[in-house]
Each structure stands twice: as structure tokens, then as C-alpha cells.
Amino acid sequence: MNRYTRRLFLGRTGAAATVAAVSGTVTAAVRARSIGANDRLRIGLIGCGSRGVDVHMGTVRKFAKEMNVEFSAVCDPWRIARERAVACAKEWFGREPKAYVSYRDLMADDEVDAVMIASPDHWHTAHLEAAARTGRHAYVEKPLATEFDRLVRAVDAVQEAGIVCQVGTQIRSLPTIVGCRALVQAGTFGKITRVEEVRNAERPYWYNYLKDATAEDVDWKEFLGDRPDRPFRADVFTGWYGYYEFSQGPVPGLGSHFIDLVHYMTGATAPASCVCLGGTFYWKDEHEFTAPDQCQALWIYPEGFLVSYVTNFGNGAGNLKRLYGEYGTLKFDNWSAPTYSAEGGPKRAQGTIRGENPVPPLEHPDHFLDWLQCIRSGRTPNAPIEAGYAHAVAVLMAMKSYETGRKVLYDAAARTIRPV
């Protein structure tokens, strides 16, 4: 299934290429080559839902001419989604892409240089590992993983292959958030003691995805993957965000963005411990959703601060995002207009913060553009695989605590998560 075409071999030494061919894996020593400015970059889209077509393909469309890209293939187990993706790609990029039901067929297509992974959460690691082992650059949605062992395997494959991998925690690329990071890194807030997010809504987001679908239009087994077989249900297929075995709910779904920002701003890499409680308390109906509509996760970091994430899907009031330090407070409730002040800092008089201030934005490429530019140049993207691993460790710790009702520890040296 590996791709050893002329384009892939371009720039490699014969000896290194031989090693790669024999091993069956593209190794770091034969890093997947950057694609030159004059080479057409051919992208395969895995997952043709609203995220894949409207966001991934729709955003790349803005940079298509500048970056010389097109979508040469699309993949989805739902015929309706595939056909829409084909139509959009043909209209936006001037070429009708090949359409596949299974990602395995897309990975066997020599006319795909890179992939964008917008599949259901339980598929992310499998699709990313397949991309790495076939030498393709990848953009992969968050949360990066739903199982820890598969996370480790996929991350190792990416690092061994040396592909350019951008993880879809795109908020860290907003100029205002880059500005927040600069303030924190400069010591503006002194010692950080707590970072928290409360992200509430009147109802869970998974209700927004429910659609009509028929078994005749869906490769049901391709969607399920290794999950237990069962009769087709349209609500499970289209509203998979609401079923724990496919998505695990708001901590990975929404909290992964927040925890990634904690890491990005503070420089921390992984929590030492976590506790998480929650349940489905309000939204009980004919869909029998199993993802929690209430949850609270608390992480303690070895750097000496606490992180809190809360979701209430029974009342939409009380949303906030805060970083608290000894000299003041950063408020990033609105990612596009964060502010900071000396409010609440026990040593605020010793700092330099005066009044309530907008965070100065720092110029940064759009997250999707950053990935495309990195493929061309070979540099490291803003959300590399290491960042994806870090956010995934945190949310998987939370879900292990949620499942067991116990405190969970992470051993960074051994790469293990265990309840105590």
C-alpha cells in the first residue's frame, strides 16, 4: 500500500529509498519530501461531513491558487456526503476527484500527496497512522485519539515517517491567541495558579448533526470500524458525537481546544493527575445518547497549577475562560477579543499591568495555510504531532477517570495512564 512513485522518490538518495521500500515504512531518515512551489499538491479528504467539506475543503479553497493545491480524492462511507464533496471539489478546484468508500482505497491512490482527516473521532488514529505509513502529509482533526495505545502508535508512526502533520486545534493560530501566549511567556502574570473554562449550552451540540440517512446509502461496517456490530441507525450514524463509543463527549470534543491552549500559552506538556465526574442528567430521549451532558474535569500539572474544564448542557449561562496569575488575570472568553488586567492578583502592585487592556494580536498564518506552507518548506507547523499527543493525553486521562470514578495519573517517561 506504500507509494513509491517518481514524485515520492524525488530528492531521495537511492540507498535511503531502498531502506524505506524494504522496511515498508517511510522513516525519518527518508522524510517525506517537501513539495516544491511549482508542484501541484494533491489532497485526499477523509470524512466528507460539514467539517470536512465546509471547513477543510472550504478553507483550503481560499488558498488554492496561492498554494497550488487541489482535492484529487474524497472518501466517506455515506454516498450522499461523497457526492456533495465531489460536486464541491469540482466547482471549487476545477477537477472532479475520485470518490472512495474506504480510506484504504484512497491510501492506495498514487495521485494523493497529502490527506485531511475529518472522520469520526474513533477513526482519527487509524487514518493518521495509515497516512504516516504511506508517506503522506496529514492534517488531522481533534481530539487526536479515543484510545491511548492507538494514540501512541499513531504518534510514533508520524514521528518515524517525518511527515508534516498539523493537528486541528486551530484556535492556537489566531493572532489574538498568539498574543496571549506572548504575554504569558513574558511573565506578565507571574506564577500561574489556575486556568479554567466553563463552556455551557442549552443543549448538546450533537443534536445539530442529526440527519436522515438510509442503510442503502451507507457502508455501515466502514463507519463502525472495530466497534461492535449492530443494526443500522440513522441517529447513531449522523449524530455519532452523542454516543460515547464514537466520541466520548464534551471533554474531548470541546475541552481539547481549551487544554491545547493551556499547553500553548504556558509551555506545559502534560498533566500529572486528573479527576473527572459527569453523566447524562437532562437530555434523555428516544436517541439514547450516551455522551455526558454534564462533566467537570480537574488536572494538576507538574509545573504547579490547576486546570478546570466544565460543561453544562442543561443551562447555557456562566461561560468563561480565565488564566489566573499572581500579577493579574487573562480573560479569553472571546477568542477574538481577549483582555487582561491586574484583577485579583495577590502581587498585582508588583506587576506592570494597569487597567483593562486588549491583548495585542501577533500576526500568524491561518491554521490551514500554515500546514500548506509547512508542506512546501518542510518546517514544523504550529500544532505539531507533539501538541496533539499532549492534548490527547489530558483528555484521555479525564475519560479514564470518568469511566472508573478514580483519580488518574500520567507517567510521561513510561507513557502510561493509570487509575489509583
**Sheet strand arrangement including 114-117:** 98-100, 69-75, 41-46, 114-117, 137-140, 165-167
What is the CATH classification number for the domain harbouring 192? 3.30.360.10
Give the count of beta carbons closer than 10 Å to the beta carbon of residue 326: 16
CB 417 within 8 A of CB 408: yes
Pair (245, 107) in one structural domain:
no
Pair (96, 188) in one structural domain:
no
Give pLDDT, residue 402: 98
CB 263 within 8 A of CB 391: yes
pTM score, whole prediction: 0.92
Cis peptide, bond prior to residue 361, ω within 30 of zero: no
What is the CATH classification number for the domain harbouring 28? 3.40.50.720
Give pLDDT, residue 34: 63
Give pLDDT, residue 35: 76
Q: How many DSSP H helices and E strands does the chain contain?
A: 16, 16
| 1 lies in some domain | no
| Strand duo 408-411 + 416-419: pairing | antiparallel
* pLDDT tens-place values along the chain, 420 residues long: 333 232 332 232 232 333 333 334 443 333 355 676 668 999 999 999 999 999 999 999 999 999 999 999 999 999 999 999 999 999 999 999 999 999 999 999 999 999 999 999 999 999 999 999 999 999 999 999 999 999 999 999 999 999 999 999 999 999 999 999 999 999 999 999 999 999 999 999 999 999 999 999 999 999 999 999 999 999 999 999 999 999 999 999 999 999 999 999 999 999 999 999 999 999 999 999 999 999 999 999 999 999 999 999 999 999 999 999 999 999 999 999 999 999 999 999 999 999 999 999 999 999 999 999 999 999 999 999 999 999 999 999 999 999 999 999 999 999 999 999
Pair (189, 338) in one structural domain:
yes
CB 110 within 8 A of CB 3: yes
Distance from C-alpha of 66 to C-alpha of 280, rounded to nearest angstrom = 47
Domain of residue 140, residue span: 6-171+371-385
Pair (315, 190) in one structural domain:
yes
Q: Name the helix (H) or strand (E) containing 392.
A: helix 385-404
Pair (199, 343) in one structural domain:
yes
Give the count of beta carbons closer than 10 Å to the beta carbon of residue 370: 20
Pair (131, 184) in one structural domain:
no
For residue 196, the SS3 value is: strand
